[in-house]
Amino acid sequence: MSKQSASIATMATLYVRNVPAELYTKLQEWAEGSGRSLNAAVLELLEAQASKWDRNAEYRRLLEELKKYPPYVGPPWPEDIIREHRYGREPGFDD
């Protein structure tokens, strides 16, 4: 068995139906312009999108992890301290 046929055996085949003619033409032009076959160009697009989904899933996971912690409240603004001192009320409660 040749090296190429051995690697092909582990690859899945994907058939895409009902591709709009306009999209197909754009894909062909993009593939030709980059010196690749249509198959290679479409595989590159699919890999890029899958990688983007993976990154987005990781971002969502990190955001969920951050939600476990209370929000950071920094020191009061100087204006709020002055206002509290002058008017005897809590900072941020303006009338």
- Per residue in 46-94, pLDDT (tens digit) is 999 999 999 999 999 999 998 888 887 888 889 888 888 888 766 555 5
Residue 24 domain boundaries:
6-70
In a domain, 85, yes or no: no
* Contact present, 38 and 26 (Cβ < 8 Å): no
pLDDT score for 94: 55
* Six-digit token string for 60: 């969502």
Secondary structure letter of residue 70 according to DSSP? P
Torsion of CA 71, 72, 75, 81, to 10 degrees: -10
Does 59 map to a domain? yes
User: Would 89 be classed as within a structural domain?
Assistant: no
Structure confidence by residue, pLDDT tens digits, 13-28: 889 999 999 999 999 9
Using an 8 Å Cβ cutoff, are 81 and 88 in contact? no
Number of separate domains in the chain: 1
In this structure, is residue 92 part of a structural domain?
no
Look at residues 43, 49, 44, 34 and name the one whose alpha carbon lies nearest to residue 13.
43
